[in-house]
Structure 1
Amino acid sequence: ILFAAFSLTLRSCSQEKLQDTNKWPRESMLAELMENMDKKSAWDRFYSETSSRSPNFKNFEWFFGFDAVQDFITPFLQTASLSRRPVQVLDMGCGTSALGPSIYRDSALPVRVTCADISPVAVRLMREHVRANPVRPRNASSQIEFLELDCTQLDSHYGPSSLDLIVDKGTTDALLRSKEGAEKAASVLRQCLKVLRRSGSLLQFSDEDPDARLVWLETAAQGQGLAAADVGVQEVGVLRGVCYYCYQVTAHHDVNK
């Protein structure tokens, strides 16, 4: 399913730029990426090639953009804001998506958004773009940063109970497709639960069917001192013939013992 969604994403983007097909990566490179979606080198090559084919920066959106999921994210920002401090948000595996900057721009509440990706190329491109085209936040107290970070080492950067919301748009899907993906993705999930505050949540946006993803989430969240987490799902909708879902994962006990 992920391959279909990935291909549809690229096909849609390509259709928008039919007048300049050189802006999009070659099929051989895409095939390599699909087999190595957990490797920094593969993502570096992807973002280097896509950016080199156009003189103007363009956000690359996996699956869909911010508008499609804004109504899913905003309620969690409002809940976290009850603590009267900036809401700590991590866009995990941001790539060159406008998702994180859009949360920073549109939130009426003060937020600190970290856009993190394993690819230093993607991080550099985003920093340069925002430096050249500053994003004005709705709340003057909001902040945004771009960080090179391997999500499989999340707990080496963040301490326990330090984040309010983690947004994952396709990152877990990419890990699950890689050869060692299931183990890596489960480790990332457990790390997310450890670095989230008690009221915090992980939102995974994916095209995987709930019958498979819900069971995986409930199983993978266990272990290493973690009891079962609360897991829920909402349908985002059908885009380009693919149905997408928002999976919410929240630890309902002290996950930091």
Structure 2
Amino acid sequence: MAALRRTLHLASLAAGARRAVAGSLAGSCLADRRLWDKLPAQPRQGSAGTFDWFFGYEEAQGLLLPLLQEAPAARPPRVLDVGCGTSSLCTGLYTKCPHPVDVLGVDFSPVAVAHMNSLLEGGQGQTPLCPGHPASHLHFMQANAQNLQPVASSGSFHLVLDKGTWDALARGGLPGAYQLLSECLRVLSPGGTLIQFSDEDPDVRLPCLEQRSQGWTVSVQELGPFGGITYFAYLVQGSN
């Protein structure tokens, strides 16, 4: 079923500007940085300057905003997007969240990071992004999601987002995906939440997460359908 869903998903991307992108992703090693270095140069729908694999901020905000509201009120909750690429998750949280939020997007592609920093700062004649709340912050940094030591200390984020990064690493074998999970849980605060967005069936993903997230609560929610495809949000949560 998971393989069938991925096939249908790739087919759904075949329209318009996404046809070339979908073809290159389908036939490539998704853990190869050179592939993701090429994406910022691909044609995009609209003028937002972002490209979303699976779906974007608009589809995810109903899940994200309540979790941010539950964060301790002492300071803006910190959000980490691992393998952010040129997705709209970070920019959407920064520009549209009505509550203060401190967002960090990391990616191993320097091209993607440079593109998002340019978008944030208003490079190439664009208007700089404006925060939805005056106390909100947004940063992008180059980093390997399997080794976040250089950019993130243990227990420092209330919310960690992974939209398709596990999926990409798992194509090269589960050890790489498990290392990603280990790092995400390391930087997560005791009462925080890791969300993995994926099209992979719960029968496949849940046993992996439950085995490697002992001491955390693992659950799943359906999202969509978006473009005729049902996705899943896998939540790994701690307790205060």
Q: TM-score, normalised by structure 2?
A: 0.87
Return the structure number with greater helix share: 1
Q: Secondary structure at the match of 1:102?
A: helix
**Distance between the aligned counterparts of 1:240 and 1:170, measured in 2?**
17
**Distance between the aligned counterparts of 2:11 and 2:69, measured in 1?**
33
**Distance between the aligned counterparts of 1:88 and 1:5, measured in 2?**
35
Match of 1:7 among 10, 13, 26: 10
Within a 5 Å distance, the mapping from 1:220-239 to structure 2 comes to 220-221=212-213, 227-239=214-226
**Distance between the aligned counterparts of 1:26 and 1:64, measured in 2?**
14
For residues 234 and 200 of structure 1, do their structure 2 counterparts lie closer, same or farther at Cα, with a shift above 3 Å needed?
same
Match of 1:42 among 31, 35, 55: 35
Within a 5 Å distance, the mapping from 1:101-250 to structure 2 comes to 101-132=91-122, 133-178=127-172, 181-221=173-213, 227-250=214-237
User: How many residues align structurally?
Assistant: 232
For residues 8 and 186 of structure 1, do their structure 2 counterparts lie closer, same or farther at Cα, with a shift above 3 Å needed?
same
Within a 5 Å distance, the mapping from 1:76-95 to structure 2 comes to 76-80=67-71, 82-95=72-85
For residues 57 and 230 of structure 1, do their structure 2 counterparts lie closer, same or farther at Cα, with a shift above 3 Å needed?
closer
Code of the aligned partner of 1:40: R
Q: Retained in 2: the 8 A contact 1:37–1:174?
A: yes
Runs of at least 5 residues in structure 2 that lack an aligned partner in the other structure: none
**Distance between the aligned counterparts of 2:160 and 2:36, measured in 1?**
21
**Distance between the aligned counterparts of 1:234 and 1:208, measured in 2?**
12
Runs of at least 5 residues in structure 1 that lack an aligned partner in the other structure: 222-226
**Distance between the aligned counterparts of 1:246 and 1:135, measured in 2?**
27
Q: TM-score, normalised by structure 1?
A: 0.81
Q: Retained in 1: the 8 A contact 2:6–2:199?
A: no
Cα deviation, 1:73-98, whole Å, max 9, x if unaligned, reads 01111111x24201100111111111
**Distance between the aligned counterparts of 1:202 and 1:57, measured in 2?**
26
RMSD value, Cα: 2.4
Q: Secondary structure at the match of 1:205?
A: strand
